Amino acid sequence: MAETGNEAAVTAAVEALTKAMLQADRAALERLVADQLSYGHSSGLVETKAQFVNVIANRKTVYKSITLSEPSTVMAGDNAVVRHIFSNTTETAGKTASINVGILQVWQKQAGNWKLLARQAFRLPA
């Protein structure tokens, strides 16, 4: 039963992060990601918490849409490994782009709250 509750809480945290990214909500982004965040993009770029939050909150990248599909969550104590397909449309420096990539996220329960600790995007096989 505890795993089911934790899985539901992790799913809610993933959904809250998606909403915060779409709304460029600095306070929510700060609350949902760990201070130790390692946020990897499919291009190889890796961002810290401050970099990740600032890019979105300062609207350097504007998320126009985000769709998550094929979700899976595996619980491991106070950690959760989440995978999904991440499809989005963004606007950066006046240019619109769409991407469809695989995502691996590691969420960690810190002080009773689920926080994104690590995220790595990867290109999907053709």
Query: What's the confidence (pLDDT) of residue 2?
Result: 43
**Residue 96, φ and ψ in degrees, nearest 5:** -95, 140
Number of separate domains in the chain: 1
Query: What's the confidence (pLDDT) of residue 1?
Result: 42
Q: Is the full-model pTM beyond 0.85?
A: yes
Query: What's the confidence (pLDDT) of residue 3?
Result: 52
Domain holding 54, by residue range, is 2-122
CATH of the domain at 112: 3.10.450.50
* Residues in CB range of 37: below 8 A, 6 or more apart: 47, 48, 49, 52, 116, 117, 118, 119
Query: What's the confidence (pLDDT) of residue 18?
Result: 98
Per-residue pLDDT of the chain (126 residues; tens, 9 = 90+): 445 789 999 999 999 999 999 999 999 999 999 999 999 999 999 999 999 999 999 999 999 999 999 999 999 999 999 999 999 999 999 999 999 999 999 999 999 999 999 999 999 998
